[in-house]
Chains A and B, each alone.
Chain A
Amino acid sequence: MGLELYMDLLSAPCRAVYIFAKKNDIPFEFQFVDLLKGHHHSKEYIEINPLRKLPSLRDGKFVLSESVAILFYLCRKYSAPSHWYPPDLHMRARVDEFMAWQHTAIQLPMNKILWIKLLIPMITGEEVPAEKMERAMEEVKKNLQQFEEKFLQDKMFITGDHISLADLVALVEMMQPMGGNHNVFLSSKLAEWRMRVELAIGSSLFWEAHDRLVNLPNWDSSTLDPMIKKRMSEFLQKYK
C-alpha cells in the first residue's frame, strides 16, 4: 500500500494537502473521511488518528497528523520545487512564521464565520446572536489587515516573487467562509493576491479542491445522524 491521505475537502487543512500533493504529482490514495457523517469519530479512523482530526497521512507504517507537518514531510520526501519551502534562511523563516501564526489568527476565525453563518443555523435551527457574528467579523477584519500589512506587504506572495506553502495555507483557509457564501477578499490587494495564488496553483485544481465546500449550502442536514447531530450541537454551544 502506497501513500494514503485521509481527508475531507470541507476542511481547509485537507485542501492545502490535497492541492499540494496533486500539484506536485505525488501519487496517493484519497481516503475519504466524511465529516458530515461524523466518520472522523469512527472506530476505524480513531485507530489511524486518536485525535480524530483531519488530515492524516499514512506512509507504510508511518502515520502523521497536522497539515503543516504533512506539507513539510511531502515537500521533503518528494523533493518539491524549492519555492514551496525556500532553503534561504530568511525566506524559510517567513514561511515558518506564517504557518505558526495562522492556526489561531486565520484558521480558527475563518472557520468560526462558516459555523456562525451557515452550519449552526442549519444544524440546530437556531440563529447565532448578531453581536457574536459582529465580533467574529471584527476579528477576521483585524487579522486580515495584519496579514496584508505584515505578511504580504507589497510583495506578490508572502516570501516574495513565488508561491510557497504559506500562500497555499493562507488561501485555502480564507476560502472557508465561502461555504457560507461569505467573501473575505474585500480589499483589492487581497483579491489580487488571491487570484495570483489561484493561477499559480492552476484554476482547475483550485476549484476542484473547493467544490465540496462551495456546495455546502446545498447539503441536506436532515440526513444527519441524530447522534452526530447531538454531538455537533454540544460542540457548537461554545459558538453561541
Chain B
Amino acid sequence: MGLELYLDLMSQPCRAVYIFAKKNDIPFQLRTIELLKGQHYTDDFAQVNPLRKVPALKDGDFNLAESVAILLYLSRKYKAPDHWYPQDLQARARVDEYLSWQHTALRNCCTRAMWQKMMFPKYLGHSVPPEMLAATLAELDRCLQMLEDKFLRDQAYLTGSCISVADLVAITELMHPVSAGCKIFESRPKLEAWRQRVEAAVGEKLFQEAHAVVLKAKDMPPLMDPTLKKNLMLSLQYLLH
C-alpha cells in the first residue's frame, strides 16, 4: 500500500495538504473522513491518528498527524521544488515563523468566523449572539491586518518573492470565512492581489477543486439527525466563546 492521505476538504489544513500533494504530483490514495458525520471518532481512524484529527498521513508503517508536519514530510520525501520550503537559512526561518504563528492566530479566528456566521445557525440550527459574532469578526479583522502588516508587507508572497507552504496554509485558511460569506478580500486590495497570485501559482483548476466542498457548505440543508446534532454541538462547544 502506498501513501494514504486521510482528508476532509471541509477542513482548512486538509486543503493545504491536498493542494500541495496534487501540485507536486505526489501519488497518494485519498481516504475521505467526513467530519460532519463524526467519522474521525471511529476506532479504525484512531489507529491512523489517535489524536482523532484530520489531516493524517499513512506511509507504510509510518503514521503522521498535523498538517504542518505532513507538508514538511512530503516536501522532503518527494523533493519538492525549493521555493515551497527554502533551504536558505533566513528564507526558511520566515516560513517557520508563519507556520508557527498561524496555529493560534489566523486558524482560530477563521474557524470561529465560519462556524459562528454560517454553520451553527444554518446547519445546526443554533443561533449565535450578535455580540459574539461581532467580536469574532473584529478579531478576524485584526488578524488579517497582522497578516498584511507583518507577513505580506510589500512582498509578492507571505515570506518572500516566491510561493511557499506558508501561502498554501494561509489561503486555505482564509477561504473558510469566505465560504461563510465574509467579504474579507473586498476591502483589502493588497490581500486580494496576493490571493490572485497564489491562486494562479497553484492553478485555478486545482484551487477550485480543493475548495468545491467548502464553497458548497452554505447550501447544505440543516442537519436533522438528533444524535449527530447533539454530538457535533458537544464537540464544537469550544468555538462558542
B65 touches A69 (CB 8 A): no
List chain B positions with a Cβ less than 8 A from chain A. Answer: 50-51, 62, 64-69, 72-73, 76-77, 89-90, 92-94, 96-97, 99-101, 103-104, 146, 149-150, 241
Residues of A within 8 A of B64 (CB): 93, 97
Contacts of A104 in B (CB 8 A): 103-104
Cα A28 to Cα B196 in complex, Å, equals 42
Residue A199 at the chain B interface, CB threshold 8 Å:
no
Q: Is the CB of A50 within 8 A of B150?
A: yes
Which residues of A in the span 67-81 have a Cβ within 8 Å of any Cβ on B?
A: 67-69, 72-73, 76-77
- Contact between chains at B73 and A89 (CB < 8 Å): yes
Q: Enumerate A127-162 residues with CB–CB distance to B below 8 Å.
A: 146, 149-150
Q: How far is the CA of A96 from the CA of B76 in the complex (A)?
A: 12
Chain A contact-residue range equals 20 to 34
The segment from A58-66, A188-196, A205-213 that touches chain B is A58-66
A108 interface residue (CB < 8 Å to B): yes
Residues of A within 8 A of B93 (CB): 62, 64, 69, 72-73
CB-contact partner of A96 in B50, B62, B69, B103, under 8 A: B69
> For window 20-68 of chain A, which residues contact chain B by CB distance below 8 Å?
50-51, 62, 64-68
- Pick 19 A–B contacts, CB within 8 A, sort by A: A50-B146, A51-B150, A67-B100, A69-B97, A69-B99, A76-B92, A90-B62, A92-B76, A93-B64, A93-B72, A96-B69, A96-B72, A97-B65, A97-B69, A100-B69, A101-B65, A103-B104, A104-B103, A150-B51
Which residue from chain B places its CB closest to the CB of A102 in the assembled complex?
A: B103
Contact of A100 among B66, B77, B90, B241 (CB under 8 A): B66
Which of A66, A92, A108 has the most chain B CB atoms inside 10 A of its CB?
A66
The A204-231 residues at the B interface (CB cut-off 8 A) are none
Q: How far is the CB of B72 from chain A (nearest CB, A)?
A: 5
In the assembly, what is the distance between CA of A188 and CA of B161, in Å? 50
Contact A100 B50 (CB under 8 A): no
Interface SS of B by simple majority: helix
Residues of A near B101 (CB, < 8 A) are: 51, 65-66
A69–B95 Cα distance when bound, in Å, is 8
**Chain A residue with Cβ nearest B64:** A93
- Residues of chain B lying within 8 A (CB to CB) of residue A73: 89, 92-93, 96
- Determine if B51 and A101 form an interchain contact, defined as CB atoms under 8 angstroms apart: yes
A50, A64, A77: the one within 8 Å of B149 (CB): A50
A90–B70 alpha-carbon span in the complex (Å): 11
- B68 near A96 (CB under 8 angstroms)? yes
In the assembled complex, the CB of A170 is this many whole angstroms from the nearest CB of chain B, namely: 14
Q: Are A68 and B77 interface neighbours, CB within 8 A?
A: no
Which residues of A are in contact with B by a Cβ distance under 8 Å? 50-51, 62, 64-69, 72-73, 76-77, 89-90, 92-93, 96-97, 99-101, 103-104, 108, 146, 149-150, 238
Known contacts A50-B150, A89-B73, A101-B65, A146 near B51 by CB under 8 Å: yes
CA distance A100 to B150 in the complex (A): 21
Whether the Cβ atoms of A66 and B51 lie closer than 8 Å is: no
List A contacts of B68 (CB < 8 A): 96, 99-100
CA A72 to CA B90, docked complex, whole Å: 11
Q: Looking across the interface, which residue of chain A has its beta carbon closest to that of B95?
A: A69
5 closest Cβ pairs, A-B complex? A69-B96, A96-B69, A100-B66, A66-B100, A103-B103
A101 B104 Cβ-Cβ under 8 A: no
Whole-angstrom distance between the Cβ of B190 and the nearest chain A Cβ: 16
User: B97 and A66: CB pair below 8 A?
Assistant: yes
Given A100-B69, A146-B51, 15 extra CB contacts under 8 A: A50-B146, A64-B94, A69-B97, A72-B92, A76-B92, A89-B77, A93-B69, A93-B72, A96-B66, A96-B73, A99-B69, A101-B51, A101-B66, A103-B104, A104-B103
Chain A residues, Cβ within 8 Å of B77: 89
Give bound CA distance, A93 to B58, whole Å: 12
When distances are taken between beta carbons in the complex, the residues of chain B under 8 Å from A149 are 50
Chain B residues positioned under 8 Å from A97 (CB to CB): 64-66, 69
A89 touches B100 (CB 8 A): no
